[in-house]
Amino acid sequence: MTVRLNNPIHTTQGKSFKKIFGVPVMKFWDIRTGFDVIEFDRWLKTPDNISTKDWIEKKHGLPAVKVVKSLIGMRPFTIEE
């Protein structure tokens, strides 16, 4: 019997994460709880006076925000033009 763990490294999100942030998503992935937002926030060195989302958008752009949201299970928002 084979047990498959929820491993995002070979998914579109995992590949996009590596391309955007320069590190594999597995650096912040726990097989029990998923994406570790707190550890990722520490790694980003997000300043105290800004949200992690706003810091990601400022430093890496909206596509980076969408990737992180998809990793934590949030539906990415769309921008209406």
**pLDDT value for 76:** 45
**pLDDT value for 73:** 80
Ramachandran area for residue 22 (φ above 0: left; ψ -120 to 50: alpha; else beta): left
Domain coordinates in residue numbering, the chain = 9-71
* DSSP single-letter state for residue 11: S
Most distant pair of Cα atoms in the chain: their distance = 49
Q: Are 28 and 36 in contact (CB under 8 A)?
A: yes
Q: Token digits for 45? A: 């060195």
Mean pLDDT of 44-71: 94
- Higher pLDDT: 64 or 32? It is 64
